[in-house]
Structure 1
Amino acid sequence: MLLAAQVALAACGSSDGSGSAGQAGSPSFTGRGPITYVAGKDSTGSVQAAIDRWNERHPKEKVTFVQLPTDADSQRQQMIQNAETKSDAYTVLSLDVVWTSEFAAHQWVDRLPDKQFPLRKMLTPVVETARYRGGLYAAPSSSDGGLLYYRSDLLKKAGIGGPPATWSEMKADCAKVKKLPEAKDMSCYAGQFQKYEGLTVNFSEAVNSADGVVTDARGNPDVDTPEARKGLDFLVDSFKDGTIPKEAITYQEEDGRQAFQAGKLVFLRNWPYMYSLAQKSKVAGKFAVAPLPGLTGPGSSSLGGHNLALSSFAKNKATALDFIKFFTDEDSAARNLKDASLAPPYANLYDDTALTRQYPYLPVLKQSILRAVPRPRVVQYGDVSSVIERQAYAALTGAKSSAQALKDLQGDLQKTATQ
C-alpha cells in the first residue's frame, strides 16, 4: 500500500452545506454557552484582542483562550491527546493547514457547512487546505507563504539592481555585498534548519524549487530523484561553503529573525509575520522582500497558514460555529494583517491600494501563496514529517550524503504508508 492510499487531496466540489459528513453521523451544531479556543502562544496580542471583542458582544457565550507551546509539533500532539481521550476541554482548534486530513480522517473534527462561509472570496489554494474528500473540515483563518527577506540597502550600495531570482545569483550577490566594509562579518543566507517542522518546510521548498517533488500527483513518494538531489544539495553545499552559517542548523523562525534584525544576515527565508517586527528593529527601512529563489528562477514556497476546526467532542457547537465565522471573516483577516502581519485568505485584500501602500510585501506574498506547493496532505502527517526531518538533518550535518539521505527517505516514506 503506497502513500497514495493515505493521501487526501482537496476536492474542488462543494458539499450540500447541510453539515452531513463522510464521518459516521452528522454533526449537530446545537448548544450555546462558554467555549474554548485552542492555538499556539499569542506573541502579538491580536488573538486575545479578537476574543475580547467577541466576549464583549456575547457575555453569555464567552471564549477562553487556551494557549499551547509555540512549536507546531507540541501543539499538534496536545490536540491529538485531547481528541484521543474524547475530552470536551478543547472546542475550536487552530490547525496548521497540513493537519486537516489527519484530524478529519480520525473524526476528531466535524465537517462544516460550506455555504455558511464566503469561500469564493478566498484564494483557491488556501481553501483547498481546509478540505478533505470533498468536505470542508475547517475554515481558513490565515495563510502563509515563504518570503526572501534581504538587505536592500546593502545590495544597492554594492551596485546590485534587485533581489536574486536564483540560488546562484543569491550567492554571487552575497559575495559582492560582503566586500563592503560594513558587511564583511555578515553571513549570506539562513532559513529554518533545526530538526522540527520548519526543516520539513525548508527541505520541501528546496526540492520543489529544483523541479523535484516529495510526493507525486498521486501521493506516492518520489523523492529519490536527480531533481530532489539538486534541491537538497543546495542546502548541504551552502552549509559546507559557508553561505549558510553553521549556527543556522539550530535556527527556528525566531532565531533567524533575530539574526537578520541584528545585522548578521544578508538574506533570510521567513514568513510574513516577521515584516512588522523587523520594521521596529535596527534594520527598519533597510530591507525588502522578494519571492524565494530557486535553481533556475523563482522558487516555490511551502504553503503555510492556519484553519479553524470544531472538535467533534465539544459542547456548545452553535456558539463554536458562530465564533469560527466571526474569527475567519474578512474584517478579522484585515485586522490580523494589520496587527500581526498574518497573510489573509481573502483575495481582494492583496489588491487593496491602501493596504499595499502600508504593507508593500502583499503583492509578493500573493504570488508566493499562488505558486506555493502543499506539504504532503496525508493522514499520518506527523510520521511523514518526522522521517523527512530525520533524513534531511542527517544530510545537512554530514552524517549522510544527499544521495543516501534521499534513498533512505524514499524507503522511510513507503514504510510509513503501510503502518
Structure 2
Amino acid sequence: MKKGTIFLILVSLIVSNFLFGQPYKGTTIRVLVWDDALTVAVDSMIKEFEQETGIKVIFERLPSGSILEKTAVSVSSNRTDYDLVSVDEPFVPQFGNLFTPYSQWPQGKVYKKVDLENDLISGVAEGSYWNGEYRGLPINGNVYVWMTRNDIVTNYKYKEEFKQSYGYELNVPQTFEQLLDISEFLSTKGIYGFAPFTKNTEGATCEAILMFESYGTSVLKPVGENDFEVVLDKEKAVEAMNMYKALCEFAPPGWQDMGHSERIAAFNQGKVFSMFQWPAIVPDHEDPDQSLVYGRIHYSAPPAGTSRRAPIRGTWMLGIPNASKNKEAAAEFAYWWSSYEAGKELVKAGMTPARRDLLLAPEFVSEKPYFLGIFESMNYSVSRPRFEHYAEVSDVIKVNWLAGVTGRVTPETAVDNMIREVNGVLAKYGY
C-alpha cells in the first residue's frame, strides 16, 4: 500500500510537471525581429520565458531595413527558416498570405491569447489585417503623435497678441490652417512654426499620405477581390501639397533635406513650435541631457485638413509562417511578449505598448505623458497603401511628393506624375 501510494504521488508529480511546468520542454523556435532598444530588452528577458515554458528561443535581430529581404528569402508557402517573424505594417500585404491567420492561432498553455478587440487600443489590430484576416499579433502602438510647445501656447503675451491679430485663441493647432496662422505669427518671434520630413526615405511617403488623407483623398483603393485602382483626386492632392509648401516657408533653414536627426536637433534646441514624431523617438525630446524643451511639450493627434485628422500608423506584427512546425510554441512566445506582465518591463525599456491596460496605466502616463497622445492619434490612424508591391508605390509617392513640395516641379505636375507612375506599377503587375 505504501509503495502504491508513493507510485501514485510520483506519477502525479510527473503529470503535473508536464502540464504546468515547462509544457514545451525540448522545443526550439527561431524568431526574426528588427534590432533596436526594445528588442534588445526582449532578448534580455528571454531566459525567464524559457524557464517558464521549456521553449528554447533563438532570437535573431537585424536592422529594420534588412528584415524585408531576409523574410523574402527565408519564408515561402512550403518552407521557413523561422517560426515567428516580425513584419512592418506596410509590408503585411506582401507577406500576409504566408502567415497563419490569427484566428487559427492556438490558445496558450502558459500565457493567455491576446484578444485583438478588447486587449489592444483602437486602430492597432488593423495594421495586421490583410485579405479578410488578421495575419498576426501587433506588438506596438506605433503611430504619428503631434508635438506642440506648450510653453508657447500658454505664453500670456503671445496669446494676447495672437488674438488681436487673428481673432481667435492661441492654442494647440486643431487644423493645418491654424498651424499656418500660428507659424506666421511666431516667425516674428524668431521661432519656426513647423519642421517637415523631406529626406528621400519612407518618412517622406508618410508625410504625403498624412496630407492627402487629411484633405480627403487616397492614392490606391482595392477593387473587388483581386484588383486595384489609383483614386488620387488631383484637386485635393494639390491643395494638400500647397498647404505643406506653405508650412515649409516657416521651417528652419535647410528644410528641403530634413530627416529625423535634423528635426530632433531643431526641436530640442527650442527653435520649432510644432511637428510630428514617432513614439520611439519622443523620449529624446523629454531627455534633459538632450533637450531644452523637456517637460514643455503637449502631445496630441495631428491637426486636421479640410477632411479629417490622419496620423500615419506603423505597427509591427509577429506572424507565424504557415510552414512552421512549431506553431504552438511560436504563439506562446508572442503571447508572452504581448502580455501585461512582460509589457510592464518592456515599457521601461522604451516599448510603445499596443495593450490598452499598459498605454493608459496611470503609473506609465505620469512618466510618459505622450502615451495619451498616442492613444488619441491611434483613434484617427490611417495606413499607407495596402498593396503587395508597396515598396515600389512608396518610391513613386515620395519622389514626386518631394519634387512638388520643394519646388522642383509644380504641385500639379507632381500629382500628374504620381498618378501616371503608380498606374505604371499597377500595369507592371497585371492590375
Class of the TM-score when normalised by the shorter of the 2 chains:
0.7 to 0.9
How many Å apart are 1:234 and its aligned residue?
A: 1.8
User: Matched residue of 1:220: which SS?
Assistant: strand
User: Matched residue of 2:254: which SS?
Assistant: helix
Specify whether residues 123 and 262 from structure 1 end up closer, same or farther in structure 2 by C-alpha distance, changes over 3 A only: same
1:326 maps to: 336
Within 2, Cα distance between the matches of 1:246 and 1:305? Answer: 32
User: Matched residue of 1:376: which SS?
Assistant: coil
1:62 maps to: 56
Which letter maps to 1:47?
Answer: T
> For 1:18-417, what aligned pairs fall within 5 Å after superposition?
33-42=27-36, 44=37, 46-58=38-50, 61-71=55-65, 74-83=66-75, 88-105=80-97, 107=98, 109-112=99-102, 113=104, 116=107, 117=113, 118-121=115-118, 122-157=120-155, 159-160=158-159, 161-180=170-189, 184=190, 186-216=191-221, 218=223, 220-239=229-248, 241=249, 243-280=250-287, 281-282=290-291, 283-296=293-306, 299-312=309-322, 314=324, 316-342=326-352, 344-417=353-426
Specify whether residues 178 and 80 from structure 1 end up closer, same or farther in structure 2 by C-alpha distance, changes over 3 A only: same
5+ residue gaps, structure 1, are 1-29
Identity of aligned residues (%): 18
User: Matched residue of 2:124: which SS?
Assistant: helix
User: Matched residue of 1:398: which SS?
Assistant: coil
How many Å apart are 1:207 and its aligned residue?
A: 0.8
Within 2, Cα distance between the matches of 1:251 and 1:37? Answer: 34
1:31–1:315: 8 Å Cα contact kept in structure 2?
A: no
1:276–1:341: 8 Å Cα contact kept in structure 2?
A: no
Specify whether residues 393 and 352 from structure 1 end up closer, same or farther in structure 2 by C-alpha distance, changes over 3 A only: same
User: Matched residue of 1:143: which SS?
Assistant: coil
1:19 maps to: none
Within 1, Cα distance between the matches of 2:106 and 2:80? Answer: 26
1:333–1:345: 8 Å Cα contact kept in structure 2?
A: no
1:145–1:303: 8 Å Cα contact kept in structure 2?
A: yes
User: Matched residue of 1:403: which SS?
Assistant: helix
Which letter maps to 1:110?
Answer: T
2:146–2:302: 8 Å Cα contact kept in structure 1?
A: yes
User: Matched residue of 1:120: which SS?
Assistant: coil
Within 2, Cα distance between the matches of 1:409 and 1:258? Answer: 32
2:27–2:329: 8 Å Cα contact kept in structure 1?
A: yes
Which letter maps to 2:41?
Answer: A
The structure that has the greater radius of gyration is: 2
User: Matched residue of 1:177: which SS?
Assistant: helix
Which letter maps to 1:384?
Answer: V
Within 2, Cα distance between the matches of 1:170 and 1:38? Answer: 41
2:90–2:390: 8 Å Cα contact kept in structure 1?
A: yes
Within 1, Cα distance between the matches of 2:222 and 2:326? Answer: 39
User: Matched residue of 2:32: which SS?
Assistant: strand
2:105–2:331: 8 Å Cα contact kept in structure 1?
A: no
What TM-score, normalized to structure 2?
A: 0.78
1:164–1:170: 8 Å Cα contact kept in structure 2?
A: yes
Which letter maps to 2:61?
Answer: Q
How many Å apart are 1:305 and its aligned residue?
A: 1.2
User: Matched residue of 1:236: which SS?
Assistant: helix
Within 2, Cα distance between the matches of 1:271 and 1:145? Answer: 6
Which letter maps to 1:69?
Answer: P
Within 2, Cα distance between the matches of 1:141 and 1:326? Answer: 11
1:36–1:90: 8 Å Cα contact kept in structure 2?
A: yes
